[in-house]
Structure 1
Amino acid sequence: MSRDVAVLGVGMHPWGKWGRPFTRYGVAAARAALADAGLDWRDVGLVVGADTVRGGYPGHVAGAAFAQALGWQGARVASVYAACASGAQALDTARAHILAGLVDTALVVGADAAPKGFFAPAGGDRPDDPDWLRFRVLGATNPTYFGLYARRRMALHGDTPEDFARVKVKNAAAGAANPLARYRTPVTAAQVAASPVVADPLRLLDVCATSDGGAAVVLSSLDFARRRATADPVRIRAVSTVTPVYPRTVPDLPDIATDSALAVAPPEPAAGFRSAVVRAAYEEAGIGPEDLDLAEVYDLSTALELDWYEDLGLCPPGGAVKLLRDGATALGGRIPVNPSGGLSSFGEAVPAQALAQVCELTWQVRGLSGPRQVAGARVGVTANQGLFGHGSSVVVIR
């Protein structure tokens, strides 16, 4: 039995710092996706909202907030929270409703109005929250966390700050060609090196910003898509939202030591949580890394993007820098990664991120990405890491 669902339409609100309610961005993205799908809002059978805990009560019930803002018309509604993986889990909720035959069409929306600066855990003291513990017990803010990953790569694989800068240069070049990106100016390695140190060895231009923005996807059953004369629809072939497996129950936290030279390689390269999320998507889709034409990954920092190359199976452990230096992951390379420009060019609008990745893959496999188009793109994968055992990977094909 096929688990495919059709992507009828996608839409986004540009990323930036606008200072408006998150629903404004979500509604704009939703209307763009509906227009792309050629679907009337009243024909939508389900609205799934990716929650934002920073949006007050409406953010905690984002599906209902978006349905109200669009105009209540009797659709089913659901709301999902999984931090940075919220969008993909919302997508999976919509897919399940469609495959169960409960609805023919679903609108999935994520949007955020992010505060300035580094994200802090929301909601006061939460000693059962690993993010709260990182901040309060270890003093490990997100950039500190990213710096530990970077130091670990340097100790294990010999990566250098210059390699991390190459990731920024690559993504900034792609983002400069994306009209929806917040940062649309090419960046040089010298500019990365001259930016302030945030969490050694990472500099300001190695770390993504926090942004406002929104993204939306319209899904349908394949039968519904074909009835609308869409003979060859873009499809979601797989959605992975698996949790960690004991004993690797902490989601890929690097070994924390006072001396980064003490970092040790994991006993099995495939044992990590992130690679397990991606493997589950490959297995469901019946593909492997060799089948990919492009990937959109969660580049909270430049060093973290390199980890994803290995987690996606694009190269063996430690091989990410060679792939990068050879130009394989740049536009025009063998397997472009983050042709959208990634979070490096957009910044974090948390509930929208995983949906924005699906938007980019959809435009790419349709051949509608303009100067950032990946030639012959037919198969793409997303990868995202959320809080507390939430992760996601989505396979998009045509």
Structure 2
Amino acid sequence: MAVCPSFRPERGISYKRYILGLLLRRTTGLVQISDIYSTISTTSAMGSHTTVSPQPHVPSSGVWCPAVTFFHHDTDSLDLASQSKYFAYLSKTGLAGLVILGTNSEAFLLTREERSQLISTARAAVGPDFPLMAGVGAHSTKQTLELAQDAAAAGANYLLVLPPAYFGKATNMNVVKRFFSEVAAKSPLPVVVYNFPGVCNGVDMDSETIAAIARDPASTHANGRSNVVGVKLTCGSVGKITRLAASFAPEDFATFGGQSDFLIGGLAAGSAGCIAAFANVFPKVTARIYALYQKGQIEEAMELQRKAALAESAIKSGIASTKHAVACYSAQLAGIQGAAGNLAPRHPYEEVGEGAKIVIRQVMAEVAEIEKSL
């Protein structure tokens, strides 16, 4: 059997997966790799075996949590024991899925090996059926695709992809489109575009650019579906949600808000839900807002949304405040001992000051009680 020169086993792809891919290419042509491999035992870059159940082509609607990362700060290493407990707990709180290696995981402070470890730890903790999306943001197309292969091998179902933005002024929309076109065409998993100007040198994709990326013929496989399946809008634009929801059927493209404090506003405009840091702290409350809205209990949903939005204001300053809130609340409910010591940001960044810690506990007290009651 002749080997297609454009398809070679990448780092972390098992021989079993490689051979099946060759056979299917020979008989059916180029197909969506994720549609083939989702039920197969895969081999991660670390050598461990991971079984992943099939997921919908487009990520499920609801609340997704971009999970924070635990560290042993004396050795500056991952605290995988606490991390596993945390992932397992979150998966049982009503969330639609977890994002591993998002902004709140401090992904850009992790080594390539650590990124794979976190994904494989998450998969082992939540089992084969719970949806996982992996951040693979990097500065070049090649780096992104290498991380994409690692994520697929470690057990992810979807990829969350930032645009390249290190050279901010040079990153125009043509560069962004070309980047996503190549990544989507070569990615082993469906791609969710991640628009977050705050961590991308101000690079801000408009709704027309995002729609063009999703409709790019180069991103369409032989199964007839685009490999670009959604977007996370941490730019906070409900207008973009409205335009994208009007442009795509929900079964083809999922538009997620990037914060939970406008979850209902986003849902009213047509969003699929949110991928929100606040879900780290109060996952049950955030999922409850979504569920109430979907049931038509709008007033009850709005009442809880208002309380949650006020509580969320205490962690708007960034990852350090979010991680402290996790230590105070969800980590304790997850049964993690001594979480505060392992939830400071990774070196060289600093944890929040004592004054901010007091404010977090005061502002979040009411919602903390609601979370415990759910």
Question: What TM-score results when the alignment is normalised by the length of structure 1?
Answer: 0.26
> Which has more helix, going by share of residues?
2
Relative CO higher for 1 or 2, CA cutoff 8 Å, sep ≥ 6? 1
Question: What TM-score results when the alignment is normalised by the length of structure 2?
Answer: 0.27
